[in-house]
Amino acid sequence: MIHDANTWFAERLSDHGIVTSYLEDHHPAAMPCLQVRRLDWANVAEEARRHQMRFVSLWAAEAGAHDEKALYAYMAFAHPEHRHVLLRTDLNQNDPALQDIGRHYVAAVRMQRSLQDMFGIRVEGLADTRQWLKHEHWPDDAHPMRRDFPATTRMQESDGEYAFIRAEGDGVYEYPVGPVHAGIIEPGHFRFHAVGEKILNMEERLGYVHKGVEKRFEGLTAAEGVRLAGRISGDSTVAHAWAFCQACENAAYLELPAYAVTLRAILCERERMANHIGDIGAICNDGGFAFMHVQMQRLREEMARMHRDIFGHRLLMDLIVPGGVACRLSSETAAVLAEDSRRMAAEVEQLRSIYADHPSIQERVIGSGTVSVEDATSVGLLGYAGRASGVYADERVEEAYPPYDKLNVRVPRGEFGDVATRVWVRFEEVAESARLICELLQALPEGAERVEFNAPEAGISGFDAIEGWRGEIAAWVRFGRNGVIDRYAVRDPSEINWLGLELAVREVPVPDFPLNNKSFNCSYSGNDL
């Protein structure tokens, strides 16, 4: 049976003369894909925006086993009352061109710039044509994600310069920060325009550690691929591994045991708790409240040690595998994990009262780095950044994939959009994750922890999305001959949320940038795929 969201959207498109058809390389019951004409590409995006559909992702792929010369572009949307809609169009191999959809969805602009860089796809009408992920030392005709580009190629360094937006006027100063920063963090360049200490505009330059992940997946089995997926952004290893596996399992139309999906959710909620706890402390540290930083780091370390003792890895890596999970909880360890989750939530709540009663940190976070509901909706902010600004998208509720289809997930609903609200959302999510973990552990089902995963036939694709601690992770995979992957595309929430940071810091004093940056805590690695 064809997915109701695709049927619904196909009917809306038909009302405006846009012809669609269903592709046979996606299992219809799992996640079908609509084929549209290239000349209708921008019109499809316009209709999606008109129906208040959320933009999810945009990517490209050369064809697989059935037609190796073809080149496709894909985009995905989500509707709050429906599930995801996936669309594809064929591109001219000799002169691949695509219509710009950035005027309908701001978050698509950088993704389209990436298509130009990585695939040589010309985006007609794109307002910002600067290279995004492909830095200045790359030749214009080098397109690293194309199949014929050798993955071992090393480019020569050059003195090229990125054309940052310029600002002129009396008293306007330009501050370059990065890409090398104090401390052990990933590289990213921030270019500030400021008058005195007030930031007028901040522009990001990322891509310094671009890894070629899509190309690295080529030729891997699903069992090999999940290890790579779990390392795309190390602090989101559970969520990325789950998104990859669920895309593979949809392609293979594989139903998992109840035990496996339950434990996956428990792991994902523990990952959410640990990261929120650590980040709350780090935000307070940037606001000069060292006590909260020390206490939160203590709690996060205790969680990491608990994970090592129970699951064998401090960050919960390599526990999710195609077909299920690679671990099993005894009744004793389940009880220990439930008690630890309750204790963590209780301690965080005690620290929350101290944080709320400390005037010096409240003065730093309240009203700082505000992103309005209108701007957050326009950009499509995800996760806690979106929920702080009135965008409440949560795949655990909208997609309601197992086991969340049997749970009542309480999504925090902020609206002020400042640092204080982003911290408030994190506190709320720590408490909610602990509640969900205990509920899942109390009803932990019997049965196998995994079933055998058999790759689908060549050319079959799968798509799905998982709500990680930063927000929605969208994953698409296609299998080739001999059961190996011939293409993988993934969108980390940071690809969208980096835009929110640029909006947040306008009118903010320069010394408060670290505070705002940590309140978003976007992943460099998740962007530099």
Mind listing the pLDDT tens digit for each residue in 187-210? 999 999 999 999 999 999 999 989
Nearest to 292 by CA among 227, 356, 210, 335: 356
Q: Kindly report the average pLDDT of the chain as a whole number.
A: 93
Q: Are residues 120 and 200 in the same domain?
A: no
Q: Are residues 116 and 172 in the same domain?
A: no
Question: Which positions ≥6 away from 327 have C-beta within 8 Å?
Answer: 263, 311, 312, 319, 449
Q: Token pair for residue 414?
A: 């902020």
At 319-353, the pLDDT tens digits run: 999 999 999 999 999 999 999 999 999 999 999 99
Q: Are residues 30 and 117 in the same domain?
A: yes
The terminus-to-terminus CA distance of the chain in angstroms comes to 35
pLDDT of residue 1: 36
- Domain-located, residue 76: yes
- Domain-located, residue 244: yes
pLDDT of residue 30: 60
pLDDT of residue 169: 87
Q: Are residues 190 and 222 in the same domain?
A: no
Strand partners for 475 = 464, 490
- Residue predicted with more confidence, 276 or 160: 276
Q: Are residues 177 and 78 in the same domain?
A: no
Report the alpha-carbon distance of residue 321 to residue 241 in Å, rounded.
Answer: 7
pLDDT of residue 411: 97
- Residue predicted with more confidence, 491 or 18: 491
- Domain-located, residue 520: yes
pLDDT of residue 284: 97
Q: Are residues 60 and 46 in the same domain?
A: yes
- CATH, residue 189: 3.30.390
Report the alpha-carbon distance of residue 104 to residue 482 in Å, rounded.
Answer: 40
Domain end point (choices 124, 156, 177): 124
pLDDT of residue 119: 95
Residue 67: pLDDT over 80:
no
Q: Are residues 30 and 48 in the same domain?
A: yes
Can you give the residue range of the structural domain that contains 68?
4-124
Q: Are residues 12 and 115 in the same domain?
A: yes
- Domain-located, residue 347: no
At 478-511, the pLDDT tens digits run: 999 999 999 999 999 999 999 999 999 999 999 9
- Domain-located, residue 95: yes
Question: Per-residue pLDDT averaged across 70-80, rounded?
Answer: 91
Report the alpha-carbon distance of residue 278 to residue 262 in Å, rounded.
Answer: 25
- CATH, residue 70: 3.30.460.80
pLDDT of residue 213: 92
Per DSSP, the residues of 110-147 read HHHHHHHHHH--EEET-S--S-SSS-TTS-TT--TTST
Q: Are residues 182 and 239 in the same domain?
A: no
Q: Which is it for strands 84-91 and 34-36: parallel, antiparallel or unpaired?
A: parallel
Domain end point (choices 124, 154, 177): 124
CA of 85: how far to CAs of 57, 79, 267, 374, in Å?
11, 8, 28, 24
Q: Are residues 201 and 221 in the same domain?
A: no
pLDDT of residue 68: 63
Q: Are residues 16 and 116 in the same domain?
A: yes
pLDDT of residue 323: 98
Residue 356: pLDDT over 70:
yes
- Domain-located, residue 221: yes
Nearest to 276 by CA among 115, 429, 493, 89: 429
At 215-247, the pLDDT tens digits run: 999 999 999 999 999 999 999 999 999 999 999
- Domain-located, residue 155: no
- Residue predicted with more confidence, 8 or 518: 518
- Domain-located, residue 189: yes
Q: How many domains are there within the chain?
A: 3
Q: Are residues 109 and 173 in the same domain?
A: no
At 430-484, the pLDDT tens digits run: 999 999 999 999 999 999 999 999 999 998 999 999 999 999 999 999 999 999 9
pLDDT of residue 27: 60
pLDDT of residue 168: 84
